[in-house]
Amino acid sequence: MSDLERLQQRLDYQFLELERLQEAVTHRSAGGRHNERLEFLGDSVLNFVVAHEVFHRRPTDSEGTLSRLRASLVNRSSLAAIARDIELGDHLRLGGGELKSGGHRRDSILADALEAVFGAVYLDAGFETAARVITGLYRSRLESLPDKAVLKDPKTRLQEVLQSTRRPLPGYQVLDVRGRAHHQRFQVECRLSDSEQTTLGEAGSRRQAEQRAAEAMLVEIGAESAEGGGSGHE
């Protein structure tokens, strides 16, 4: 049995055009046709499918809670964990440099490749089949959604993402405060010292502005997607 046959078994889907799956598992470092366009497509399909699932599974939750639930399911860490469940790393096509540096184990590469696989399934067989593959891989996670009280806020999620990659913790600084007491607007900057990446958050309290800046940083570093993070790519 070939590597791609084993992968298709784990996906519970047989491709009509195997070239699509081959493209989905090809990292740009390998040269030629690679998976970045499929990743873009798969990210959108994944976000919709997961949004649909949490919407129907949690009928009384607010929009904010649903967004956080979706973010917890589609972030880089969650995608990488599912990719490891199906041993996707064993099937990745990487360039020499990525092979030597262990790219097949890296969360970002695994997460991107899994999204590309979802995009490939969508192109090969349409939305319903892609949704079936996604919900199949997510079944245990969808059946054990966390209570809204334990969902982590953006600052906590950002701290955990940075700690997992041994990066320094972010700094927060108030840049501006406007308005009178009890009607103030705070603008806060979140900065990563090792890369000089910055994001801004604005809200009616310093704490909420910090949360929004942290949320924007999660998107900036690719840990969560703008669609999925409340606004991912764990």
Query: pLDDT digits over 204-214, tens only?
Result: 889 989 999 99
| Active-site hit among 23, 43, 224, 227 | 43
| Active-site hit among 23, 98, 115, 189 | 115
pLDDT confidence bin for 230, thresholds 50/70/90: very low
pLDDT confidence bin for 184, thresholds 50/70/90: confident
Pairing between strand 185-192 and 197-203? antiparallel
Amino acid (1-letter code) at residue 12: D
pLDDT confidence bin for 14, thresholds 50/70/90: very high
Predicted TM-score of the model (pTM): 0.69
Domains of the chain by start residue, with CATH: 3-150 (1.10.1520.10), 154-220 (3.30.160.20)
Any binding-site annotation on 176? no
Any binding-site annotation on 115? yes
Instruction: Tell me if residue 43 is catalytic.
Output: yes
Residues 6 or more apart from 154 whose CB is under 8 A from it?
211, 212, 214, 215, 218, 229, 230
The tokens describing 15, both together, are: 């491709």
pLDDT at 216 over 90: yes
Least confident span in 84-98, 129-143, 151-165: 151-165
Specify whether the CB–CB gap between 94 and 121 falls below 8 A: no
Query: Which helix (H) or strand (E) covers residue 5, if one does?
Result: helix 3-11
CA dihedral of 194, 75, 147, 140, whole degrees rounded to 10 = -140
pLDDT at 37 over 90: yes
What is the predicted pLDDT for the residue at 164?
82
Burial class (CB in 10 A: 0-12, 13-18, 19+), 215: buried
CA angle 119, 121, 125 (to 5 degrees): 125
- DSSP track, 174-201: EEEEESSTTS-EEEEEEEETTTTEEEEE
Any binding-site annotation on 112? yes
